[in-house]
Amino acid sequence: MFGNLFEEDYSSVSNSQYGKGKKLKTKGLEPPAPRELTNLSGIRNQGGTCYLNSLLQTLHFTPEFREALFSLGPEELGSLEDKDKPDAKVRVIPLQLQRLFAQLLLLDQEAASTTDLTDSFGWTSDEEMRQHDVQELNRILFSALETSLVGTSGHDLINRLYHGTIVNQIVCKECKNISERQEDFLDLTVAVKNVSGLEDALWNMYVEEEVFDYENLYHCGTCDRLVKAAKSELDDMEYMYDLFSVIIHKGGCYGGHYHVYIKDVDHLGNWQCQEEISDTDMNLKALQNEEEADDPVVILKTILLQEEANQIPVDQLGQKLLKKTGVSWNKQYRRQHGPLRKFLQLHPHVFLLSIDESTVSLLRNHLTQAPSDLLRNPEQILHIPTSETAGLNDNTSCPHWFDINDSKVQPIKEKDITQQFQGKESAYMLFYRKAKLLRPPEARANPRYRVPYHLLKEMDAANIQLQMQRAECDSANNNFELHLHLGPHYHFFNGALHPTVSQTDSVWDLTFDKRKTLGDLRQAIFQLLELWEGDMVLSIAKRVPAGLHVYHTLDGDELTLCEAEIADGEDIFVWNGVEVGGVQIQTGSDCEPVLLHILHLEMSGDSSKCEQLVESAHVFPANAEVGSVFTALAIPVGVILMNSVESADEEYWTAIPKEDMKTTLREQGLRNGSLILVQDSESDNSLLPKQGRWTNSVNELNWLQVKNFCQLESEEKQVQIAVTMHTVVFDIRIKAIKELKLMKELAENSCLRPIDRNGKLLCPVPDTSTLEEAEVKMGSSLGLCLGKAPTSSQLFLFFALGTDIYPGTEMEVIVEETLSVRDCLKIMLEKSGQQGEMWHLRKMDWCYEAGEPLCEEDATLKELMICSGDTLLLTEGRLPPPGFLKVPIWWYQPARLSGHCESQDYSTCASSQSSSWGAAPTQGVPGPEPTEVSLLYLGDVEISEEATLVELKSQAMALPFVSKLAVRSTALLRVWTVESKRPSRLLRPDWQQLKEYRLGQRAELCLELLQKEENLGPQDVLLRTRLRIPGERAYTLAMDLVWDTTRGWTASSLRQRVADFYSLPVEKVEIAKYFPEKFEWLPISSWNQQVAKRKKKKNQDTLQGGPYYLKDGDTIGIKNLLFDDDDDFSTIRDDIGKENQKQLALGKKKSREALRVQSSSDVFSNAGMSTQPRGPEASLSIRVASFR
């Protein structure tokens, strides 16, 4: 039964199963989904709270616990509205637990949220993402409830319901004296290894007789000597218990997933297994072959009896009928019985319509009559064998079991439960109720039983609000925008339809429900066009470069818009189906108008009467013969040359043979934007001499190089294609395939991609674009690659894992531009083989660094201005809610190194420092970190941008490491921003809001502990000063110096402040600023500031500008010229640092060259093999206020 519970398995277990396999929604304002067939509500997983969800569902399905909690009113617990009042005594945890139970019972949503409850526990996002042991949670939660309920009538709730006593009885074999010892317990722990079941485990642990004899004698108090004795067995017939909850753990002892099997004691859920649902649907379809199929009342009643609460929206009733019977209402019954809604109105004795006629339900008398009349012969009507168990309307007295897995609730048969206890899925915690506990009849299938009135009122109002939100959302999600082109406002001109009036008058926008039929659409258009006369035909039209073209007519008024394959934003042409403006219109894709660019000779309009080459646009039907081009140009006969056919030698154009003049333009591969050259055969002025060069003013013809990247063998690796800026990309691609002698099938599954100077393949170029539109430069290189180019509504994106990325190591994906960031993230995770929900997307900037995160997860890529060719980074970590910052906090300890230590033994000194304070983790190859900077990671703080700096300090002080230091006040903490793994900008003052610091989503902060409080003014600058040790290349310990810059940022002012601080003569002081990233010192002198005296002194004499850029936290080296008059400020560590930087630069250069050679598949081939080290275990706690 228990399986191998303690064997670890990391390959198949994730910390959260929530949402797995479900399609993420793209609209952030959608209300929560309603309850499913079981009519029970799950609980959403916050990231790692499956153990909490399993325990809460168990307590919720324990009637005695639930009703005892509901019995405590606001007069005892207080009100959640008063929880923030200083003097109010509000017991938040039991109130939130009451509210959660009411939501699970009454709120019509698929899954409830535990966010408010865990907030009342005092949990942060870290605790919600971390998994714990469910038994530990059970004990801590019970303890928290006991503390919260002190002084109320429920003070003994836990003790009354869950308290037990273990009685150890030892019977003396000599005097028969019985010695008893009692132990209290809330739960029993049993060893399950090497036992066949729970009964054996309990027997071994608590019942089996233990004999004291021989060397293990018992000291009897009555006999006052060592005697033989034995534990007695208790008669437990009085204490019979029924199992009603089994919490299941899947995985090993360091991680996994929890779900729970629960017996529905009060019959709150609808129980029906999947195979029975399928059988019912099949049986309903079988009605079509029965006599009852002639009576739609019988079928509609049967459908409604299977629905939750026996009601359904009228719009969905027709869909259910089609789905379950295979035939629509319009096709089967409309001719005889009329529209569905009218039919329901004509049978008020059976069906009850709501006030707005949007939903329909069965009258109560038909619910009770169902077994006797509708289902009097279930074997004949529904074809259900009599041996089958009841389904949704099961009236048996035996409660059923449900498998509750976070948000998902499914029925499960009792016989199937034991089959689950195998392998890595094992029973971990069992809950029992006394067998003699009976439930009152009024509690059966009544979720409102014993729920307090104020919670009933709150849930009813919430359900009404949910219904309104779903109705609005349903309307928004099912509405299509259609563009109606009115035939009388169009005329046929130049091969296509064009409006005769303004665009506003000729095109009407119509919002229409996609679930309605074409007949409904036609009727709606009739009502809009009151003056329409004659037949009305609706046809699909599309805009093409030549104008508007009609494709096919919409037939079948009984079809819905979805069934007719009408898309959102579709163009509908409204006409009589024959002619427009007196011209008969050809329809269909065969005669689609094609816009061609034709080069030909014409006489110039000036007095010279010479011929010149001109380009003109002409429109032809796609099925027109090639020879029709001569007719359009009024040329009796001539030569047509095109560059979309195989070329020979150096000729750019190939003539179409005379025998092909009868073929169509489409058969010749001519498409919108194709360029052809037409020459009169009688003309002596040849435009194409043997060399293939233009002889007239057209000099824009040039070459493109196309390389074969299709991984297919070819005689040629690359070819040169002759093009102009008007050449269509499709023509170039087809010609390249032919000249590379590749398979013709590639024409349907290939694309052209520009190649940059580093050899990287860029975003594919659309087939329909010209080179000018695609901004492809002449002489550049294109790669012929497998796969279709993205359409106009799609984006071609690069993406990569992590933040340390080099060019050429990315993966690729094509997505719709209307896709949300959340759905795009899911697709990229699947393609990269990653799992889990702890990821977010960042956009890579131009220097291949991670930019700002894409915080609006419900926004579309188009709304965030993501373009084809952009690179997105998959970054670990969950984004904070909007308006919040998730800030990593570091602990900064300034160096405590003596200069002598540094000069004598640099390596020893550095190692001792790193052992005292952990250095910041680095990505990639670590650089030469200065030993004076030591950062220790403390954790993350999630805080509102509206919070002040002092509130951030207070929240950071709650982190475990800082709390151990017992910092007395926030004034003893400095806060710095962290850049390049070192403190950068000092944040002040404390009362300023975080948003005013403009930290950004990538901000990291570090804390520095002060010995005494400080209050820096707006003009004060904090500098780290270090006095150089004479005769040695080393410095003393750093000391903080506050410099008042009210009188200016001048070198003389700073030197005077340093001299005063160290009690030195100002003329004997030399100072320099240290640049740690370069390991260089730059002396500061008045001479540096007076180089350009011609400029204004106000702008020049400031240390804020170049070359110093002085700011808070900078290190200032100080020399006492009385003892040290050399010019050198550097140290031995600086020499080592510069040498390390030089070696690092060489290593990075070699690494980049190697990465360019490797393919992205090589880079990520072993990505799935990496395993993350397991973090340290954290204790679980629930913070409760004192109510004693």
Other CB atoms within a 10 A radius of the CB of residue 1096 amount to 9
- Pairing of the two strands 537-544 and 547-553: antiparallel
Please tell me the distance from the alpha carbon of residue 853 to that of residue 844, in angstroms, as a whole number: 9
Tokens of 220: 């009897």
- Amino acid identity of residue 660, one-letter, is D
DSSP 775: T
3-class DSSP assignment, residue 583: strand
CB 721 within 8 A of CB 703: yes
Under 8 Å between Cβ of 140 and 1180: yes
Of 803, 811, 802, 798, residue with least CA distance to 866: 798
**Both tokens of residue 99?**
């509210």
Short-list 925, 938, 915, CA closest to 1004: 938
Catalytic residue among 50, 710, 785, 1006: 50
My answer on whether omega of the bond before 926 falls inside 30° of 0, hence cis, is no
Tell me how far CA of residue 557 lies from CA of 343, 512, 517, 550, 1038, in angstroms.
Answer: 19, 15, 6, 19, 86
Residue that has been written with the tokens 């809950």 in this structure = 431
Rounded Cα gap, residues 447 and 264, in angstroms:
12
* Six-digit token string for 1042: 């506050």
Per DSSP bridges, beta strands 401-405 and 255-263 are antiparallel
* Contact yes or no for 661/625 (Cβ under 8 A): yes
The answer to whether residue 257 is catalytic is yes
Gap between the Cα atoms of 153 and 75, Å rounded: 11
Quick one: how far is CA 169 from the chain centroid? 59
What the block records as the tokens of 122 is: 């005092």
The CA distance from 1008 to 395, in Å, is: 69
Question: Taking the CA of residue 1070 as centre, how many other CA atoms within 13 Å lie in the half-sphere pointing to its CB?
Answer: 18
Residue type, 598: I
Strands (E), 460-563: 479-486, 490-493, 496-499, 507-513, 537-544, 547-553
Query: How many CB atoms within 10 Å of residue 21?
Result: 6
Catalytic position from the list 132, 249, 257, 400: 257
How far apart (Å, rounded) are the C-alpha atoms in residues 1083 and 1128?
9
Place of tokens 């013709």: 744
Take residue 1114 and report the two structure tokens written for it.
Answer: 């900078």
Q: Both tokens of residue 1169? A: 């093999």
Both tokens of 786, joined, read 């497998």
Give the residue from 370, 395, 377, 388 showing the smallest Cα distance to 310. 370
Cβ(114)–Cβ(127) below 8 Å: no
DSSP string of 1041-1098, one letter each residue:
EEEE-TT-S-HHHHHHHHHHHHT--GGGEEEEEEETTTTEEEEE-HHHHTS-TTS-HH
- Could you tell me the two tokens for 1071? 């100072």
Q: Which of 891, 1003, 1006, 983 is nearest to 930 (CA)?
A: 983
Tokens of 521: 């659409």
Residue 46, C-beta contacts closer than 8 angstroms, at least 6 positions apart: 114, 115, 118, 128, 129
Instruction: Say which residues have a Cβ less than 8 Å from residue 1039's Cβ, sequence separation at least 6.
Output: 1024, 1025, 1026, 1061
d(CA 468, CA 475): 11
The amino acid at residue 406 is D
Instruction: Give the catalytic positions in this structure.
Output: 50, 257
